[in-house]
Structure 1
């Protein structure tokens, strides 16, 4: 689209932007990518705008005073196309505005669209690139100006922003999507879902969609229903996407192991590289029966995932697994499968234990078995077999992908959350349009809100608690808690106490984690001398990507034998720099600490100028700036200030005042 056209489109969105103040997509980074993607082909632009926006006089007709019917038809067609594109732009930009990505999120998003041939400073968006300037035909003005509130959205980081470089690659990012029950979906919901899928493609992640319908007694009827659903979705996508969609109903065959596999790889990859959205019908050809039969949508999605991940191979006799994996390497260089998305009416994974009755984030490595058992044993009518089936689908699919890949489970209504759908429906005065979970997830790779927020915080903000019916899923990381709280409850009276020199702890890696997280060197000998006889427990996330050391601290004046006054204290909370602000590492460790290890409360301190304090503030039940010190005290203990004549708060403050730092870097910081 020309600069004049999109400038007009941007101007038309001023009213939308005024309603969406406080929302932000950190467009200093996003603008570079959007500017490099013209919305219409050159021929389409010429047909649309030669008549309406040319600075030259309109051409004169050869027939004096007689209108040229062909010219009128061309003008009407061009105007209709322009109007359609104008509406699409409005929906696209409004969806971005409502997703409210921060500057940090935008940097991470751009880094996933990187190119190995070029390095750019993260502080200076790729828009400064000469090649992108040459390609750009889009002028979005100041549509993407950042809001202060979004910029200050707290993330876990223990060091100030440093200059980083981002690289750009030409690898095509792909999301595999399963959509349930398209045949009965309302027209406006289907249109909204199609608009969201088109927006994902426009933002650099092309979806490949598998349709799913309920099982039918008659397989012929089910095949007809699946084909009808695919046709409906393709037609809806053609209405909102310039590149359109393509139905694939002949891409599977049954492999030697009885599982479906992609018959010909190019059937799927060619549309993706052209920006067309493949809509896959879960039908396969059976060599045994010599006929086409329907298969489960989950099996079709897994076969598609294996193919796009470069894992769909059949080692020949005498061939090694390594040789077979190398055959898939060229495809993995061309296509990066980043997301598994399920759009299902049943919605997010339910929880019988959490305050809001839903799992907003699932760490599969840690929680999969427990969640499956919880779903199987639940008698709640809101829990269905489809929840367990979808959870298993994420487990099987993400196992084939890198750790950076993620999954999202949401409802059709949330997936259809577009500007058009919202504008057509009445809303209460002051009602804020919720985030579209698919767009938000693409830009941030995070759930709609942090899973480590306490129940009290969600109760105070009912809008946040009800803001999503989506579950964000990561392959995640294992979590080690020493001692195991299931076998030994962490109490002050427990003996013998754990030591950091225990053979189950890699002390060197733990020290490196602390040094890297705090950007300071720990005096290991002094630290061990201080804490080794008072360790309450240690939490380690993944391969020492994050962790916490918790101690029992004696307040001044307390008796050595009085274990009732020992204070549960978070002595060290550390996350590797590369994992801070992303991946959910901090949330995983914090959740384990407050929900499993110390459900009755824990306290800690942080310097008043520590950037992580905003993150701590949201997750604590209370804070106190300790007078005449540079410390802020935090706690998660319920009702700490509501107990008259209680010694707990003074003991917390006394411990936070008197714990001595043990750093070896020689830095002189005011405490």
Structure 2
């Protein structure tokens, strides 16, 4: 519950300026349910802080999300001091005061008093600054612009400093006053950021240079990759570096130097692509800088939000695997959407180009000006607002899925479907399974069983993840049980979208077959065929079960195991359509006896581990 906001200006000012860090710490503790250490009551926060705190609460980060966030923005390993720095006196910052005992939360032990939550302490003390590339695709009204800059100001509080490039659709190219009009737009963004309490610096001189970087085309081995039309030399980043070191958000006009050293207007996407390449190189060349120039996020802020999807009747894609889905999205893009989403193609190409340079953990997000709080959720969790691997029925009825839902884009991995054991690289598969489960595989027994029962295997990338489905005997039925034998992702790829990409492909090849929205380019059946119920089991104490509960139709507890299943979606849809609004009964005819069969067969499947 949000505390009541004080009415007097003095109280608001005090809450904002003197208690902001304590307030944030207290509310961040509630996100993670870290209640071992009671938090000292503080003065009520200001409305602006309330909004900021609510945005974090809505992100609902998991423990893994928090660890990932702290890895990027928490305390970083200190670099060795130079000789001149070693001679300077050391400044010691005292730790925050220990919390007092609260009667409502119980007595605090001495050990807990001397060990405050490391999450709370490290997330803000200090925050390591990282950068994001941001395109603001205007024009926007002052109210809309304030909504956008409010979200960017929130990101700055969490350690993500934006490098903004401004574009305006109502400034036609070749207009005699286009330069002044674009500078005016830059100044509007700067003024709006200042209203949100951030410091900003307009950069209206050319930062990038026209033309591909010398040697870039020769070094690129991917024939489908689009080389940026602009490039940067290290000296070109001086103004951006200066701005960031001064604690200011750089707001850049889309100008570039041509071969005659004239400043000319370029498309904002070209400017951002050149910046992405140049900033990544600068960050890798100078890893000891106070602010890492390597961008971790690309944010495209427009009026319409994400890329429309044929699978969601024009509602946005939730998560895009660019490596696998880029051309498929272009091919399935309804011509009617080109008018309402005129920049979708160019923004997809921009994300694909930038993410090729940015670190593998990076992502891009296309977001509407109506969803500034979603920027915080993306920063903390690096996940889409709604998981793309949820059952389609849940996605259709999800109130969080709107025409303005953001689209998250990852560089991603290729997905392939294999139906023969001979086509599996058993050495890589064994490594994947053993690292994922942290157990030793009984290879002879495991692969021997697959030779008899294998239905298909889905592989992400170079064995970064896999889903193995087998056909198990079904008493009294000619149709075998479709059993998810293994679902595994390498630890190094957990949290980068591979899990969702893999489960969507699994859905398309099993219980989602027969639906048009299952016609994804996974190298399998392309959505054609009849869906089958998918069954799997998991240890009752498996922490992944929460994730399974959300993606299954039902579950049955069997001692140390939990049996999960997902019903064939096409069959359910046909039956619901046939009955109109009557709905399905508690147990359908086709469901009679199936749980008994599953409970009889699944527990007898032998273990794959030594």
Residues 151-174 of structure 1 show CA distances to partners (whole Å, capped at 9, x for unaligned) of xxxxxxxxxxxx9xx999996410
For residues 112-511 of structure 1, what are the structure 2 equivalents within 5 Å? 112-115=72-75, 117=77, 134=94, 172-181=129-138, 184-214=139-169, 216=172, 218-255=174-211, 259-262=229-232, 264-288=236-260, 291-310=262-281, 334-354=292-312, 357-375=315-333, 378-380=335-337, 384-415=341-372, 436-460=373-397, 462-466=398-402, 469-483=405-419, 498-499=420-421, 502=422, 504-511=423-430
State the match for 1:99 in structure 2: 59
Structure 2 unaligned spans of 5+: 1-10, 38-43, 80-89, 106-118, 214-227, 514-530, 573-586
CA distance in 1, matches of 2:291, 2:164: 21
Instruction: Give the CA deviation at 1:28.
Output: 6.2
Find the residue that maps to 1:265 and give its secondary structure. helix
- My pick for the range that moved more, 105-114 or 239-248, is 239-248
Instruction: Give the CA deviation at 1:596.
Output: 3.5
Gap change, CA 1:388 and 1:200, over 3 Å in 2: same
Check the 8 A contact 1:24/1:102 in 2, yes or no.
Answer: no
Check the 8 A contact 1:346/1:411 in 2, yes or no.
Answer: yes
State the match for 1:590 in structure 2: 503
Match of 1:571 among 477, 485, 502: 485
State the match for 1:26 in structure 2: 32
CA distance in 2, matches of 1:646, 1:27: 42
Residues 522-552 of structure 1 show CA distances to partners (whole Å, capped at 9, x for unaligned) of 2111122222122111111123221111111
CA distance in 1, matches of 2:100, 2:365: 30
Check the 8 A contact 2:200/2:251 in 1, yes or no.
Answer: no
Check the 8 A contact 1:172/1:335 in 2, yes or no.
Answer: no
Structure 1 unaligned spans of 5+: 32-82, 120-129, 146-162, 313-325, 416-435, 484-497, 665-671
Find the residue that maps to 2:73 and give its secondary structure. coil
Instruction: Give the CA deviation at 1:466.
Output: 3.3
Using the size of structure 2 for normalisation, the TM-score is 0.74
Residues 119-139 of structure 1 show CA distances to partners (whole Å, capped at 9, x for unaligned) of 9xxxxxxxxxx9885276999
| RCO comparison, higher one (Cα < 8 Å, 6+) | 1
- My pick for the range that moved more, 100-109 or 130-139, is 130-139
Residues 596-643 of structure 1 show CA distances to partners (whole Å, capped at 9, x for unaligned) of 4552132112223322221111111222334x6734232232367423
State the match for 1:615 in structure 2: 547
RMSD between aligned alpha carbons? 4.1
Instruction: Give the CA deviation at 1:513.
Output: 1.8
Find the residue that maps to 1:402 and give its secondary structure. coil
Aligned residues, how many?
513
Instruction: Give the CA deviation at 1:217.
Output: 5.1
Gap change, CA 1:532 and 1:202, over 3 Å in 2: same
Check the 8 A contact 1:343/1:409 in 2, yes or no.
Answer: yes
Instruction: Give the CA deviation at 1:226.
Output: 1.2
CA distance in 2, matches of 1:393, 1:553: 46
Check the 8 A contact 1:7/1:139 in 2, yes or no.
Answer: no
